[in-house]
Amino acid sequence: MLHFGLILFIIIFFGYNLKRITILQIVVIIQIKDLVKIYRKGEIEISAVDHLSFSVKKGTFLSIVGRSGSGKSTLLNLVGGLDTPTSGSIVFDGKDISGLSRSELAFHRRYRVGMIFQSFNLIYSRNALDNVILAMIFSGISKKDRKERAIRLLKQVGLGDRIFHRPDELSGGETQRVAIARALANDPEVILADEPTGNLDSLTAAEIMDLLIELNQKLGKTVLMITHEQQMAQKISHRVIRLLDGKVVDDIMTDKINEIE
């Protein structure tokens, strides 16, 4: 009877703690530790990212601000697997991506993050529908399902009547909406947006911001956004990190942080 009681205690105690550990692992989706990225031009070394350490909770809308050359885009490229760090680690959903092979990084970019760029990076010879479908070409989804999903995503971003238009036939805001639909194509947990409103007028920029907020609040996507506009960032984000010379100089939790606590 004693042995049975002891076994029951061990199961309950360690089972509870394993559950607790699992929950903690789920809460933090990105853990950056002592991250360094150095570019070399001849004998000159440039520290684009200088020993950064911070974590991001799942469901956070995080804005990263700072002047040009502060390391914002380099950091986003590292998290997105477009570049590799000189040293340090990026643990993404429990897996360190800093030492992944090229094929593993390609998988990370394709399925785990969705990237939105200031310059859109669409294929201008293809229409909106094709641009979204192409993001799923290696996903294992059938041709029919790829098309249906692409149409659904384009309708979701407000382009249901523009799916057969090429990027050069769309406005800047519509083109960015195509890019957002493409970023969602493989249902990533994290959206990485590099100056997504940088090429847009103020009214269109506000519409794109509303769409990113909707992705965060309604779909539960974690959003990391690069922007120069700190005031705007503090209004819409849960958290704002300011970089200077590759280092964190401010880390502000806004009033909206309680939404994900």
What are the pLDDT digits (tens) for 57-86? 999 999 999 999 999 999 999 999 999 999
- For helices 172-183 and 143-156, the axis angle rounded to 10 degrees is 130
Res 247 pLDDT > 80:
yes
Residues near 105 by beta carbon (within 8 Å), at least 6 away in sequence: 81, 84, 97
Mean pLDDT for 40-61 is: 94
Give CATH superfamily name and number for 26-259: P-loop containing nucleotide triphosphate hydrolases (3.40.50.300)
pLDDT of residue 260: 60
Joined together, the tokens standing for residue 5 give 């009681």
Rounded CA gap, 201 and 209, in Å? Answer: 12
> Do residues 78 and 37 touch, judged by C-beta distance below 8 A?
yes
Mean pLDDT for 46-67 is: 96
Distances (CA, A) of 224 to 52, 64, 255: 15, 7, 18
Mean pLDDT for 244-249 is: 96
Mean pLDDT for 6-12 is: 45
| pTM (predicted TM-score) | 0.86
pLDDT of residue 20: 40
Three-class secondary structure of residue 80 per DSSP: coil
pLDDT of residue 41: 87
Percent of residues, the chain, with pLDDT higher than 70: 88
Mean pLDDT for 14-41 is: 71
What would the DSSP string read from start to end of 172-207?
Answer: HHHHHHHHHHHHTTT--SEEEEESTTTTS-HHHHHH
Rounded CA gap, 157 and 64, in Å? Answer: 24
> Do residues 56 and 29 touch, judged by C-beta distance below 8 A?
yes
pLDDT of residue 42: 86
Other C-beta atoms lying within 10 Å of the C-beta of residue 96? 12
The domain segmentation of the chain, as residue ranges, is 26-259
What would the DSSP string read from start to end of 157-175?
Answer: TT-TT-TT--GGGS-HHHH
Mean pLDDT for 241-254 is: 95
> Pick the residue with more confidence: 13 or 3?
3
Mean pLDDT for 83-97 is: 96
Query: Mean pLDDT, the chain, as a whole number?
Result: 89
The residue type found at 6 is: L
Joined together, the tokens standing for residue 88 give 């340090």
> Do residues 242 and 65 touch, judged by C-beta distance below 8 A?
yes
pLDDT tier, 139 (very low <50, low <70, confident <90, very high otherwise): confident
Mean pLDDT for 104-120 is: 95
Mean pLDDT for 174-195 is: 96
Mean pLDDT for 230-251 is: 95
